[in-house]
Amino acid sequence: MAGKPPAGDPVQDAPQVDGPKHAAAGLPAIGHTLRMAQEQMGVRRTALTLLRVNQKDGFDCPGCAWPEPEHRHKAEFCENGAKAVAEEATLRRVTPDFFVAHPVGDLARRSGYWLGQQGRLTQPMYLAEGAERYEPVTWERAFDIVAEELAALGSPDESVFYTSGRTSNEAAFLYQLFAREFGTNNLPDCSNMCHESSGSALTETIGVGKGSVLLEDLYRSDLIIVAGQNPGTNHPRMLSALEKAKAGGAKIITVNPLPEAGMERFKNPQTPRGLLKGTALTDLFLQIRLGGDQALFRLLNKLILDTEGAVDEEFVREHTHGFEEFTAAARAADWDETLAATGLDRARIEEALAMVLASKRTVVCWAMGLTQHKHAVPTIREVVNFLLLRGNIGRPGAGVCPVRGHSNVQGDRTMGIFERPAPAFLDALEKEFGFAPPREHGLDVVRAIRALRDGQAKVFFAMGGNFVSASPDTEVTEAAMRRARLTVHVSTKLNRSHTVTGARALILPTLGRTERDLQGSGEQVVTVEDSMGMVHASRGRLEPASPHLLSEPAIVCRLARRVLGERSSTPWEEFEKDYATVRDRIARVVPGFEDFNARVAKPGGFALPHAPRDERRFPTATGKANFTAAPVEYPELPEGRLLLQTLRSHDQYNTTIYGLDDRYRGIKNGRRVVLVHPADARELGGLAEGSYVDLVSEWADGVERRAPGFRVVHYPTARGCAAAYYPETNVLVPLDATADTSNTPASKSVVVRLEQSATV
Ligand SMILES: Nc1nc2c(c(=O)[nH]1)N[C@H]1C(S)=C(S)[C@@H](COP(=O)(O)OP(=O)(O)OC[C@H]3O[C@@H](n4cnc5c(=O)[nH]c(N)nc54)[C@H](O)[C@@H]3O)O[C@H]1N2
Ligand SMILES: Nc1nc2c(c(=O)[nH]1)N[C@H]1C(S)=C(S)[C@@H](COP(=O)(O)OP(=O)(O)OC[C@H]3O[C@@H](n4cnc5c(=O)[nH]c(N)nc54)[C@H](O)[C@@H]3O)O[C@H]1N2
Ligand SMILES: [Mo]
C-alpha cells in the first residue's frame, strides 16, 4: 500500500515521520522562529517587529488570546506568536499583475499553503459576473457594488456578515452597528465553530459566558486541570504561566487522547535552566478517549460526593441552585461505564481524585478538545458542577478557564458580534443611536451555510477569516458559497475563500495589527480583550503593506455611509476620523467600558468586571450558580471504525499554513497524515506505518464523505481514536453534526473508516 500522496496539489506533500517529542520550546524553537521570520521579513524587520509584540506601546500579538503577564519589560518569546507576526509583516506582495497571471480557476486548484505564501494583498480586486480573473477596482466602485447587491435583496436577512476573531473592538462595534442599522442580526463568527459551547454552558450555569480566572489565579492555584487543549502549539505563552504556577506549588493534570510535548516538559527559552533541562509540567496524564470527558467529570463528582467533608457545603447552600437533582444524577455514575467511555483505568482516576481532594484552589482550563463534540455543552456544564462542588468559583486561585483562540474573539463578542444578542444590548444600541435594531435572532455559521445553500441568503460579507476552509462539510459549504450573488472578503492575505465565490466577488485588502493606522485625526490605536477579560490598546508601527489599504473601521464606515445614506444619523465620518469617538460610544453601550478612553490609555489596560469572580454573584435565571444534571453521553464507535479528531499542527494558524512540519509530533514535510494507535492499525487489517488510506466519514444521512490519500502514522493516541489535521479533513465533518445547544460543528469526533487508498 506504500505510495505517494495524490497528484493535483502543487505543494509537495511527502510526510516523513520520526516519532513524538517529549519537550517543547527550548533552543530549536528560537532557531525555527528566526528562520521563518527572516524568510518572510528579512533580518532588520524581523528584529524591529518581534521586539514590539505585546509591549506597552506596541501591538497586540495577532496569534492567540492568552493574556500578557503584567511586567512586560522584555518580549515574552513565543515561537508561534512570531510566526503569526511574520505571516502578516511579510515583505511578499500580491499585486494586480498576480491576478493577471492567475485566473480564479487556477487559484482554486492551489493549496491554502501556496495561496498564503504569495504575500499581502495590496489593492481592492473585483471578480465580475462570468469573468475569469479578478481585476483592480477603486474603493468607491467596490462599495457601490456591495450597495447594489444589498439593495436588490428582498430583505436584509438575505445578507450574512461573518467575523473572524482578529478584528479589533472598534471595528467589531462599528460592523455590528452597520449590520443592525441595515436590518439584520445575521452576524455569525468564528466563535460559532470554536468556544460557543463554552459560552452556552457558562452563561447558563454561572451567568457569564467567559472565564473566571486571571493570571494571578493560575499562579496561586493548587491544582490546574488542562483538558482538551494543546498549549505547546496553540497557546505557547501559557506554558510560562503553568511553569510559574508549578514553581508556586501547583500540580497539573492533563486530560488528552494525545501525549502533547508541551504539556510533558517545557524548556523556557528565557531561563538558563529552561534551555537545558526544562520543567516537567504534567503530574498526572489521563489519556482519555475522544468525548470521554463528561463521563470522567461525572464520576469524579460522584466520588467527591461520596467523600466525607469534601463538598463545600456553605458555598453550595449560599450560592447554588439545583444541587438535589444534580446529586441524584451524579450518584448514579458507574465505574464500568466510565472506564468504557474514557478508556482510563481505575487507579489513574483514583489518583486524580486524591489530587482533587488535596487541592483547595482548582482551575480547569480547556479548549477545542471539549467544545467540538455533540455533547460539548453538557460536558462543560459537568466541569462547572465539578468546580461548584468544592466552591472553586469566585475564590482566588480557582475557577473556569476556557482558553480562547483568536486574539480578539472574546472582544468581538463583547462588542455585539453575536447572532443572538441580549435584549439589553439592543436596548442600549437603540437608545444611543436612535434606530430600532432587529430583534429576531440571526444565523450562526452552520445556519448561514444552510441559508446560502438553499438560496435564502444571497450576499456573504466576511470581516476577516477564511469561511470556506474553516467551515465543516467543505463540498456543501463551497456549493453554498457558489450560489451567492455576491461574496466579499476583507482580508490581509489570499485564501481559499477568495477562489470559491458567488456570481460576483470582491477582495478588500486591509491593514494588519502590526501596521500604522493613520486617519484624519492622526495615528490611531485600537483595543482588544484577551481570554481573561483584560482590555488593552494595540498600536501598529510598520508602514502599511500598500498605500491602497484601508483599515477595518474605515471600510465599515465608508460602506455604511454608502449603503445607509440618509437613513442613518450615525456619525460614520467622525468615527472613521477618530476611533476615540467610537470608544466613547462603546463606553455608553457596553457595561464595563465606562470611561473607556482614559482607562485604556494606562499601560496594561483594565480588567472587565466578572460578577462570579469579583463578588460571587451569579447573574443567571435563578440568581444562583446552577448545578445541572444531564445524562452522560459519549460517542459510539461501530465495529471496524475509528473516531477521528481534526486538529492543528505546529506549523499552522487555523487555515493559514506556515509550513509542512509538526515538530512536536515528529512529522515533517507533509500534512496528509492520520495518526492511528498501532494496535488499532493491526486490528483494522494491518495498516502498516507508511501505507496510504482514504478517510471515509459515516453519518446518518448516508452521504459518503471522503478525504483521499492520507499516510498512516502509528502513534500513541488513545485506543479507537485517530487524529488528522484541519482544514484538509473538514470535508469529512457533516454540516448537521453539531453540538447540542451551541450548534458548534462536532469536529473532534467524526466516525470514519479507513480504506486502502486508490489514488496513490
Ligand atoms: N499556533 C497556533 N495557535 C493557535 C491556533 C492555531 O491554529 N495555531 N488556533 C487558535 C484558535 S482559533 C483556537 S480555538 C485555539 C485552539 O487550541 P486547541 O484547542 O489546543 O487546538 P486543537 O489543535 O484543536 O487541539 C485540541 C486538543 O484537544 C485534544 N482533544 C481532542 N479531543 C479531545 C477530547 O475529546 N477530550 C480531551 N480531553 N481532549 C481532546 C487534542 O488531542 C488536542 O491536544 O488555538 C489558537 N491558537
Ligand atoms: N475541522 C475543524 N474545523 C475547524 C476547527 C477545528 O478544530 N477543526 N476549528 C474552528 C475554529 S476554533 C476556528 S476559530 C475557525 C477559524 O476560522 P477563521 O477565523 O475564519 O479562519 P482563519 O484561518 O483564522 O482566517 C485566516 C484568514 O484571515 C485573514 N486575516 C488575518 N488577519 C487579518 C486581519 O487582521 N484582518 C482581516 N480582515 N483579515 C485577516 C487572512 O486573509 C487569512 O487568510 O475554524 C474552525 N474550523
Ligand atoms: Mo478558535
Q: What is the pLDDT of residues 199-229, one digit of tens each?
A: 999 999 999 999 999 999 999 999 999 999 9
Q: Which atom of ligand 1 is nearest to the CA of 748?
A: 32
Spell out the domain ranges in the chain: 13-88, 139-194+410-589, 205-403, 642-756
pLDDT for position 30:
82
Ligand 1 lined by 293 (C-beta under 6 Å) = yes
Task: Write down the pLDDT at residue 277.
Answer: 85
Q: Is the pLDDT of residue 760 over 70?
A: no
Decide: 410 in ligand 1 pocket, CB within 6 A: no
- Which residue from 678, 641, 645 is spatially nearest to 754, judged by alpha carbons? 641
**What confidence score (pLDDT) does residue 1 get?**
29
**Residues pairing with 59 in the sheet:** 53
Gap from CA of 535 to ligand 2 centroid (Å): 22
For atom 47 of ligand 1, which residue has the closest CA? Answer: 234
Question: Average per-residue pLDDT in the chain?
Answer: 95
From 735, 642, 723, 703, select the one nearest 257 (Cα to Cα). Answer: 723
364 lines ligand 1 (CB under 6 A): no
Q: What is the DSSP letter of 283?
A: S
Confidence tier at 759 by pLDDT (50, 70, 90): low
For residue 291, the ligand 1 atom closest to its alpha carbon is 35
Q: Check if the beta carbon of residue 629 is closer than 8 Å to that of residue 329.
A: yes
pLDDT, position 72: 57
Q: In this predicted model, which residue has the larger pLDDT, 733 or 24?
A: 733
Please tell me the predicted confidence (pLDDT) of residue 26.
Answer: 80
139-194+410-589 and 642-756 share one fold: no
Q: What is residue 285's predicted lDDT score, i.e. its pLDDT?
A: 98
> Strand 223-227 to strand 251-255: parallel, antiparallel, or no bridges (unpaired)?
parallel
| Ligand 2 pocket, Cβ-based, cut-off 6 angstroms | 164-166, 190, 193-194, 368, 372, 405-406, 463-467, 470, 490-493, 495, 510, 512-513, 552, 646-647, 654-656, 726, 729-730, 733, 747
Q: What is the pLDDT of residues 338-385, one digit of tens each?
A: 999 999 999 999 999 999 999 999 999 999 999 999 999 999 999 999
Whether 491 and 510 have beta carbons less than 8 Å apart is answered as: yes
Q: Which of 443, 442, 449, 492 is nearest to 470 (CA)?
A: 449
**Nearest-atom index, ligand 1, CA of 366:** 19
pTM score, whole prediction: 0.97
pLDDT above 90: residue 536: yes
Residue 496 has pLDDT above 80, yes or no: yes
- Residue 18: strand, helix, or coil: coil
Could you say which of 3.30.9.10, 3.30.930.10, 3.40.228.10, 3.30.420.40 is the CATH number of the domain covering 205-403?
Answer: 3.40.228.10
Closest approach atom of ligand 2 to CA 510: 38
User: Nearest 5 degrees, angle CA 553-CA 556-CA 561?
Assistant: 125
Query: Taking 70 as the threshold, does the pLDDT of residue 89 lie above it?
Result: yes
User: 447: pLDDT confidence band, cut at 50, 70 and 90?
Assistant: very high
Give the whole-number percent of the chain exceeding pLDDT 70: 98
Categorize the per-residue pLDDT at 11 as very low, low, confident or very high, splitting at 50, 70 and 90: low
Q: How many CB atoms lie within 10 A of CB 75?
A: 17
Residue-level pLDDT at 97: 97
Identify the band that residue 75 occupies on the pLDDT scale cut at 50, 70 and 90: low
Residue 627 has pLDDT above 80, yes or no: yes
Residue 314 C-alpha to ligand 1 middle, in angstroms? Answer: 36
Give the pLDDT confidence score for residue 6 in this predicted structure.
Answer: 41
The CATH number fitting domain 642-756, selected from 2.40.170.20, 3.30.950.10, 2.40.40.20, 3.40.50.10890: 2.40.40.20
| pLDDT at 400 (0 to 100) | 98
Distance CA 588, CA 496 (A): 39
C-alpha cell read off for 248: 508556586
Q: Looking at the predicted structure, is the pLDDT value of residue 10 above 50? A: no
Q: Residue 375: which residues within 8 A CB-CB, separation 6 or more? A: 291, 294, 630, 633, 634, 739, 740
Q: How confident is the model over 630-657, as pLDDT tens digits?
A: 999 999 999 999 999 999 999 999 999 9
Q: Give the pLDDT score at 545.
A: 97
Atom 22 in ligand 2: residue holding the nearest Cα: 465
User: Is-cis flag, bond preceding 472, omega within 30?
Assistant: no
Ligand 2 atom at shortest distance from the alpha carbon of 655: 23
Cα separation, 606 vs 599, whole angstroms = 7
Q: Hey, which of 167, 256, 365, 642 would you mutate to test ligand 1's pocket, going by the most ligand atoms within 8 Å of its Cβ? A: 256
Closest atom of ligand 1 to CA, residue 258:
42
Q: Domain 139-194+410-589, CATH 3.40.50.720 — does that match?
A: no
pLDDT digits over 653-665, tens only? 999 999 999 999 9
Q: What is the pLDDT of residue 133?
A: 98
Our answer on whether the CB atom of 304 is closer than 6 Å to any ligand 1 atom is: no
Contact 102, 132 (CB under 8 A): no
Q: Which of 121, 190, 473, 489 to mutate to test the pocket of ligand 2 (most atoms within 8 A of CB)?
A: 190
The span from the CA of 545 to the CA of 538, in Å, is: 18
pLDDT bracket for residue 69 (50, 70, 90): confident
CA–CA distances in Å: residue 19 to residues 64, 666, 675: 27, 5, 11
CB 392 within 8 A of CB 357: no
Ligand closest to 227 (CA) is 1
Range from 19-28, 445-454, 469-478, 506-515 carrying the lowest mean pLDDT: 19-28
Query: CA triplet 380, 381, 384: central angle to 5 degrees?
Result: 95
**From the CA of 735, which ligand is nearest?**
2
Q: What is the pLDDT of residues 272-314, one digit of tens each?
A: 777 778 899 999 999 999 999 999 999 999 999 999 999 999 9
Q: How far is the CA of 404 from the centre of ligand 3 (A)?
A: 7
pLDDT in tens, 171-209: 999 999 999 999 999 999 999 999 999 999 999 999 999
- Residue 206 exposure: Cα atoms within 13 Å on the Cβ side: 32
Output the CA–CA distances (angstroms, integers) from residue 406 to 55, 81, 747, in the order listed: 19, 12, 18
% of the chain residues with pLDDT over 90 = 88
Give the residue-averaged pLDDT of 730-759: 96
Q: Is the distance from the beta carbon of residue 212 to the nearest atom of ligand 1 less than 6 Å?
A: no
Nearest CA-CA partner of 610 in 329, 213, 254, 276: 213
